Amino acid sequence: MNDVADLIPHSGSMVLLDRIIDYDDQGLTAELVVRADGLLGDHESVPAWAGIEYMAQTIAAYAGMMATQAGEPIRLGFLLGTRRYHSNVAAFKVGSALTIKVEKIMQDDNLGVFDCRIQGKGVEVTAKLNVYQPPLNNI
């Protein structure tokens, strides 16, 4: 699979995903190991609300994969909001492996809604994310 940093408009320590496991026209699955770099948490845990960023980056990787396959440039996208964010944990333990899966519910040229899930040992997080990607000619 492609390097995650090549698929999303982030760089350096802002790239939170470690690798892409699988993808198709409807979604993408990625993995990460929760880091102790202090970017989103401390040296023991990262708050569960950071899962929204994990999900958003997985959607960005999906959009990047689709753009790459279509011969288009990687574009910026914006998180408009989330609905029904449910987590069975208050925080993710540093060092734990998480799998993030996003599936397209609806997408037009600029707006998308994705069903998202984060799973790991003892972790189950779900949400629906609404995203916006400006047209190429407006960037």
All structural domains of the chain with their residue ranges: 4-138
CATH code, residues 4-138 = 3.10.129.10
User: Model pTM?
Assistant: 0.93
Q: Residue 95 has which token pair?
A: 């060092």
pLDDT score recorded for residue 3 = 86
DSSP 8-state symbol, 44:
S
Q: Where are the alpha helices (DSSP H) in the chain?
A: 51-69
The CA distance from 108 to 132, in Å, is 10
> So what's the pLDDT on residue 135?
86
pLDDT tens-digit readout, 71-120 = 999 999 999 999 899 999 999 999 999 999 999 999 998 999 999 999 99
Q: Return the pLDDT at 138.
A: 59
Pick the residue with more confidence: 115 or 2? 115
Sequence-distant (6+) residues with CB within 8 A of 128 are 82, 83, 84, 105, 113, 114, 115, 116
Bridge-partner residues for 128, per DSSP?
Answer: 83, 115
